[in-house]
Amino acid sequence: KAGVTQTPRYLIKTRGQQVTLSCSPISGHRSVSWYQQTPGQGLQFLFEYFSETQRNKGNFPGRFSGRQFSNSRSEMNVSTLELGDSALYLCASSPPTAASYNEQFFGPGTRLTVL
């Protein structure tokens, strides 16, 4: 079974630009969560999508947004990029069974560098 895939793996942008990151969950998984990871703040939750609906949201500004498609693939968008947005952005999917819902499987991440 293929794991969580994220594209692109690396991205360089300049301040003020916008960026869209993509995540394809493990087949059969319907929940997709996004995280920002930085050396200073560690892993921080951005938002979670389930069946095309945002189910949970972290404490990030409105410049960070996401969506989920009917095939469970998800995209995350960051507008008006700031230097502090440089980070590893991780996507994780969860299996649909109640017993293992809490288990998140992470993708390799997208390394975003803002210059």
Partner 1 sequence: GQQLNQSPQSMFIQEGEDVSMNCTSSSIFNTWLWYKQDPGEGPVLLIALYKAGELTSNGRLTAQFGITRKDSFLNISASIPSDVGIYFCAGHIGNDMRFGAGTRLTVKP
Q: Which residues bind partner 1 (CB under 8 A)?
A: 4, 6, 33, 42-43, 45, 48, 55-56, 90, 92, 99-100, 102-109, 111
CB of 30 to partner 1, least distance (A): 16
Q: Report the amino acid identity of residue 3.
A: G
Whether the Cβ atoms of residue 34 and residue 76 lie closer than 8 Å to each other: yes
Cβ atoms of 17 and 81 closer than 8 Å: yes
Closer residue to partner 1, CB minimum distance, 13 or 88: 88
Q: Are 31 and 93 in contact (CB under 8 A)?
A: yes
In the complex, minimum distance from the CB of residue 90 to partner 1, in angstroms, rounded to a whole number: 5
CB of 34 to partner 1, least distance (A): 12
User: CA quadruple 110, 22, 37, 78: dihedral positive or negative?
Assistant: positive
Closer CB to partner 1, 80 or 100, in the complex: 100
